[in-house]
Amino acid sequence: MTKIKLLIHAEDGSFPHLSEYLLRKYFNPKDETIKDHFILGIAVKDTCIQPIYTAKESKKKRKRQESDGEEKKVAPKPTGYTFDTATLHEQTRLMEGYNTFAVPSFDLVDDAKVQMEKDASNRLKNPQKNSTKEGQKSIASVTSTKNHLSLITPNGLQQITPELYTQVGNKLKCDHLLALFDQANLEEGKKRKAAACERSKAWLGLCQKSHQSTTECKSKLWAAFSCHDSKWTLNDSIQYITEYKQSLEGIAIVGLHHVQSRAERKDLVKKISSSFNPKPALAMLAVPDLSQLFDAVECGTEIISTSLPVTWARSNKLFNVLKVKSEEVGSDGCIDLSDEKYARDTSPLLEGCQCMSCRDSRYNKAYVHHLIKANELLAQILLFGHNLFQLLTLFKEELSSDDLDLSKVRELYE
C-alpha cells in the first residue's frame, strides 16, 4: 500500500491558524495515520533571518541596556537582514514527532507574483514612497547569480548561497531536504531558462557534496525538477539529476502548475518519471487544486504539497470529503459558509466529521457563518482545522487505498 503524504507549509514550524495545543491534540503524530500521511513543510525563506545592526548602533543598544531603563531611547532599527544559522533553533520551531521536509521555498515564481502584488498595492497606498526599486527586484530569478539565490522572505529579498542553504538544511535536521534550486518564469526565454537549469545543476552538486560530508545529518536529499517547458531544459535537467541518482531520495517537481495545459503537464511528468530507472520517488510542490492533486496521485506522486486547507479557510470554505455528493458542494469539494443561507443553519459543519471543529457536534454552520460575517480570526482557525483534517482523511482513506479508483474519487468533485 502506498502511503500518499500531505505536505503542508508550516511557515517556520508552526501553523498560523493552529496553536500547538490544537495541533498536538487533533493532529498528534503518535496517531499512526498522522505520522504516515502528514508532513510539516519548513521553508528556509521563512526562517533564520537575522536583523543586522551597524557596529555603532549595536554599541548604543548595549549601552541602553546597561543603563537599565533610566533613559528611554528608541531601540535601533536594523540596517538589514541576513540568513544566519546561529540562532536557528530560537527562530524555528521544529515540532517533535512529525515528519518534516525542508525546502528553500515551495515555488519561487509564486513568491515573486505575491511580492509584486504586494508592492503594487503598497504603491497604491503610498504613491509618494518610491518602491519601484523593490518592485523590479522582486522577481527572484532575475537577480539570482551562479553564487546565490535571491529568495523572497518576509524581510524582503535576501540572498542565500548554496553553501549556507545546505548548512541551514543540515541544521534543521528535517527528515527530508530539498536541494537549492532556481526556477524561471514560464514566459521567459530560452536563455533565462537554461541559466536557471545550469544553476540548479551546480547547486544540487554543492548540496549533495556538503550533505554527504556532514556526519550528523540524516535528512534524505531530494532534487528539484523545475518545470519550464518540454523543449529546452527538460533533457538537461534529466541528465544532471541522473548523475546524482545514487544519493537522492527522490525528485520534487516544482512549478508544474504554471504549465497551462493539462495534457502538457501529464506529458511532462510522464517523461520525467520514465527517464529514470528505477522509477524515482516523486514529490509535487504547490499543487493548486484538487484536479491537479488527483493528477499527481495518478502519475504516482507520493508526497503532495498544497496550501488548499489554508486557501479554503481564507475564502470561508469548508471542505467536504465525504462520499455524499450534494447540491451545495461546489466542484472544489467545498461549501462557502459566508453564504447568507447558512445564517440560521443549526446543522453541524459536517455531520460525522471528527475534527476539532466538528466532533461532538461542537460548532454549527450558523456560528461559523457569524464569525465570518464578524470578521473574526476564529472562523479561519476552525475552518483550517477542519479542512486539514478532511484533506488528510482524503489522503489516508481514499488516495492511499489499495483499490483506489481515481475516476470515482474525481467524480465526487468534478
78 near other proteins, rule: CB under 8 A:
yes
Nearer Cβ to other proteins (176/369): 369
353 near Zn ion, rule: CB under 5 A:
yes
Query: Grid coordinates representing 311?
Result: 486557501
Least Cβ distance, residue 261 to other proteins (angstroms): 36
Among the listed ranges 76-84, 164-172, 392-400, 406-414, the one in contact with other proteins (CB under 8 A) is 76-84
Nearer Cβ to other proteins (51/330): 51
Per-residue binder mask for other proteins (CB under 8 A), 351-370, x = binder: -----x-----xxx-xx-xx
Per-residue binder mask for other proteins (CB under 8 A), 315-354, x = binder: ----------------------------xx-x--------
Nearer Cβ to other proteins (72/231): 72
392 near Zn ion, rule: CB under 5 A:
no
Contact 272, 225 (CB under 8 A): yes
Cβ burial, residue 348 (10 Å; 0-12/13-18/19+): middle
- Beta-strand ranges (E) seen in 238-285 are 250-254, 281-284
Burial string for 199-227 (b: 16+ CB within 10 Å, else e) reads bbbbbbebbbebbeeeeebebbbbbbbbb
Query: Grid coordinates representing 333?
Result: 469539494
Start-to-end CA distance of the chain, whole Å, equals 26
Among the listed ranges 74-82, 105-113, 131-139, 345-353, the one in contact with Zn ion (CB under 5 A) is 345-353
Chain-centre distance for alpha carbon 141: 18
114 near other proteins, rule: CB under 8 A:
no
Query: Grid coordinates representing 177?
Result: 531536504
Single-letter residue type at 155: N
CA–CA distance, 73 with 65 (Å, rounded to integer) = 10
Residues contributing to the site for other proteins (CB under 8 A): 11-12, 14-22, 50-51, 61, 64-65, 68-70, 75-78, 87, 90-91, 93, 154, 343-344, 346, 356, 362-364, 366-367, 369-371, 373-374, 376-378, 380-382
